[in-house]
Each structure stands twice: as structure tokens, then as C-alpha cells.
Structure 1
Amino acid sequence: MNHANIKEALEWRYATKRYDATKKISENDWNLLKQSLHLSPSSYGVQPWKFLVIENPEVREKLKAVSWNQTQVTDASHYVVFLYKQEVDPQFIQKFVDRIVEVRGVPAESLDGYKGMMIENLAKAPDEKIRVWSQRQAYIAMGFLLQTAALLKIDATPMEGLDATAYDKILGLEGSGYKTVATVALGYRHPEDSFQNLKKVRFAEDTIIQYVK
């Protein structure tokens, strides 16, 4: 993978509007896409998210009905619903600290300062602040997924055109502590999707990337 390969992948990708329902992502490629979600960065490393991979065709049909009937929901090979955590309480922070101890083999007491900082900044923060923060973290993971898909020449569509409350009900999320924020459809573009032939429209680079010296 060199600079030219990466640039070509970035130019190749687009928000696919129509998928070829007969084409499926291979298990090998899907495993790498999963890793892009699993390895995504988050503030404090705390990962206030979950990702639901919707495989059930009947559930997908229900979700399509509350997604403006966008065909990507049902025709894409894989459909991922991004959830954000509503509350980051001391118990969740402790669970994260325990995981650090397990993975890195460090003494739990060595993390007391870090745990205290997270409790102060997250567990004691206003609910609305945490809601917005958690949603932003989910979008970081989405970016990693979209980039990985492009490098694999797998089409992807980030989607916000949906009724998140209806999603939560269909997916049985009430009382789980998680809510829907957005989704990503993944698969392979239909040959008749005319959007694949359109040039990207971006503001001139020097108007959006500026240097402070």
C-alpha cells in the first residue's frame, strides 16, 4: 500500500446509493472490517459504543421502513447500526479499568489517578454533555470503518436518514443504556448506480486546509 494506492481508494469511494444484493463480503474481508471497529480510537480509550450487525432479513425490512425506504438497508451485504452509550457511570469506568489491568498486566492501584480523572470528567458530567460526547466517539469509529472499506474496495454508505427512536424499539434497546446514532451499509455497488460516475465535489483544498505558522 503506497501513497498512490491510498489516494486512488479515497477517490474511488462514494456514498453508494444502490447495492448489488447478489454480492457478499467475504469472511476474510469482513473480519478486517470488524477489526477496524474494534481497534478504533476513543477519548480516554473508554469505547462508549456498540455496533449491531443486522443479519436478519425481516429485521432489515423493518429498519428499511423507518429509514425512508432506502434500499441500502436491505440490499447491502452487511448493515451496521452504531450505538452510543447514554451514560458513562463509575461502574462502566471500573469495567474499563479492569480490562486495562487484564490486558496490560499492570497493578490496579497504578490506575487510580486515571480512574479518578475519568469519573470526574465523565461520570460526573451533565447527561447532555455525555450524550453528545458519546455520539462523537461513535463517528470516529465510523470513519475508521469507511476508510478500511475503501482500501479493500468495498463500498460503504454512512446513513443518518432514519428514525433513531424507531430503530431503538425494533432492536429492543429500551433499558440497555444504548441508543442508535447512525448506520453504515457495506457491500458492492450495483452497475446501474449512476452516482458512481459522478465527480466528487469538494471546496478547493486551500480554502479548507490552512496553516497557522
Structure 2
Amino acid sequence: MASEILQKLQWRYATKKFDSSRKISDEKLNILKEAFNLTATSYGLQPLKMVVVSDSELKKNLVPLTMNQVQVEDCSHVLVLCTETKMNSAFIKKYFDNVVKTRNTPREILQPFETFLTTDFDSKDALEINTWMAKQAYLALGNLLTVCALEEIDACPIEGFSPLEYDSFLGLSKIGLQSVLVLTVGHRADDDMFATMKKVRRGVEDVIISM
């Protein structure tokens, strides 16, 4: 199993050219949705949502907002990883309401932790909170890339886009979201020359320090 996982990670690469005629199945897409929801986040708060764009016209219109990267148009789906625009006591309370509902945990047991989180976030400024939330989005991205590899879904993570223009075009601001990362998924084109290139990495001996 371990060697199979490493083979799948060797197989994956940042797909530069997608086969626009091929779409990933609903089953594979649902796996990505569930994997996103199961991603570990700090405190378990999940200050994230993922917008799934499959409409051809929408994808085409996203290209100029993504530094003209054609993967956005040719891929099967564009996954836009977003953070909440408000992380406050109401959001934290909603999280603990869900804990009570899901685990049937008495509220008095959870109260000290809830009070700590509420106080902690109240003490942070907007920049600190947005930085923290963005880190959670990167956790989700890493998880999705691994799942894509295991499921043989081609993917390309994209930071080169205009978040403000995405937010405006997709109406994200109106629903309390701000875009942080873009992940295009689908099937690699047969003539994507990057698919056969050797993976360039520093080597385990260079990146692992044993103590």
C-alpha cells in the first residue's frame, strides 16, 4: 500500500493542459467534496467553503481573471477555495452548537473552550484572522491534491489569479466569502508535455532531518 501511494504521488503533476472533452465523474467529484469537508483545520472550526464551477461560459470568463491560464477553461471543474469574511463569536457559537448536536456533549463541558476561542479571536485584528484562515485553505489544498493523486484526478493548483475580481464575478462577497486559492481538476491532455517530465525534487536526504 505504501509503495502504491508513492507511485500515485509520482504520477501527479501540476497539469498544464487539460483535455476539455473529458469530465470527471460525479462519483469522483463527490469524493473531492467529501475530502474537502474532512480536511483538518485549526480547532476544527472550518472557516472555509469551496465553490465548484462547471459551467463552460463561467469557466471561460474566469480565464482573464486568472492571468489568462487556459487550464481554467479547459478543465472539468474549477474549485475555488474560500474563507469566511467574518470570523466572530457567532461563528464560533455555531461550531459549538454543532458539536453538541453531533456528539451530544453537555454544553457546560465545552464552555471553557468556547470562551477561550471567543476571547482569543476577539483579541486578533482582521489581518491576523485572515492570515489564519488562509492557512486553513492551504491545508485543504494539500489534502485535495493528495486525494486527486490517489483517485487519478489530474489537478493544477493556482495562486495566480485576482481574488477581488473572482469575488465580484462569482458573487462571493454577497455570501460572506473571499477567494484564496483555485484548483483546476480534470483529465490531462495527451499532448501535455509536462506529463512525461521527471519530477524535480531535492531528495529525501536533503529535506529530512532526523534527530
Q: TM-score w.r.t. structure 1 length?
A: 0.95
Which is worse superposed, 41-50 or 82-91?
82-91
Q: Give me the whole-angstrom Cα distance separating, in 2, the residues matched to 1:183 and 1:121.
A: 30
Q: Provide the aligned length of Structure 1 versus Structure 2.
A: 211
Partner of residue 205, structure 1: 204
Letter in 2 for 1:51: M
Q: Post-superposition shift, 1:17?
A: 0.4
Q: Deviations over 1:24-77 (max 9, x none)?
A: 111112111111101001000000111000122222122111111211111111
Q: Give me the whole-angstrom Cα distance separating, in 2, the residues matched to 1:54 and 1:153.
A: 20
Partner of residue 44, structure 2: 45
Q: Post-superposition shift, 1:175?
A: 4.6
Q: Post-superposition shift, 1:85?
A: 2.0
> Identity over aligned residues, as a percent?
36
Q: Give me the whole-angstrom Cα distance separating, in 1, the residues matched to 2:19 and 2:142.
A: 23
Which is worse superposed, 116-125 or 11-20?
116-125
Q: Deviations over 1:90-142 (max 9, x none)?
A: 00000101011111111222210110111122233111111100000011011
Letter in 1 for 2:126: D
Q: Give me the whole-angstrom Cα distance separating, in 2, the residues matched to 1:59 and 1:120.
A: 41
Secondary structure of residue in 1 paired with 2:60: helix
Secondary structure of residue in 2 paired with 1:191: coil
| Aligned residues of 1:86 and 1:130 also touching (Cα < 8 A) | no
Secondary structure of residue in 2 paired with 1:172: coil
Partner of residue 141, structure 2: 142
State how 1:144-183 maps to structure 2 within 5 Å. Answer: 144-183=143-182
Letter in 1 for 2:62: L
State how 1:83-98 maps to structure 2 within 5 Å. Answer: 83-98=82-97
State how 1:22-33 maps to structure 2 within 5 Å. Answer: 22-33=21-32
TM-align CA RMSD: 1.2
Q: Give me the whole-angstrom Cα distance separating, in 2, the residues matched to 1:174 and 1:192.
A: 38
Partner of residue 4, structure 1: 3
Q: Give me the whole-angstrom Cα distance separating, in 2, the residues matched to 1:157 and 1:129.
A: 28
Q: Give me the whole-angstrom Cα distance separating, in 2, the residues matched to 1:175 and 1:114.
A: 31
Q: Gapped runs of 5+ residues in structure 2?
A: none
Partner of residue 192, structure 2: 193
Q: Gapped runs of 5+ residues in structure 1?
A: none
Q: TM-score w.r.t. structure 2 length?
A: 0.96
Secondary structure of residue in 2 paired with 1:66: helix
Whether 1:54 and 2:53 are equivalent positions in the alignment is yes
Q: Give me the whole-angstrom Cα distance separating, in 1, the residues matched to 2:135 and 2:180.
A: 10
Q: Give me the whole-angstrom Cα distance separating, in 1, the residues matched to 2:70 and 2:193.
A: 15
Q: Deviations over 1:139-163 (max 9, x none)?
A: 1011111101100111011001111
Q: Give me the whole-angstrom Cα distance separating, in 2, the residues matched to 1:62 and 1:24.
A: 19
| Aligned residues of 1:20 and 1:187 also touching (Cα < 8 A) | yes
Whether 1:66 and 2:55 are equivalent positions in the alignment is no
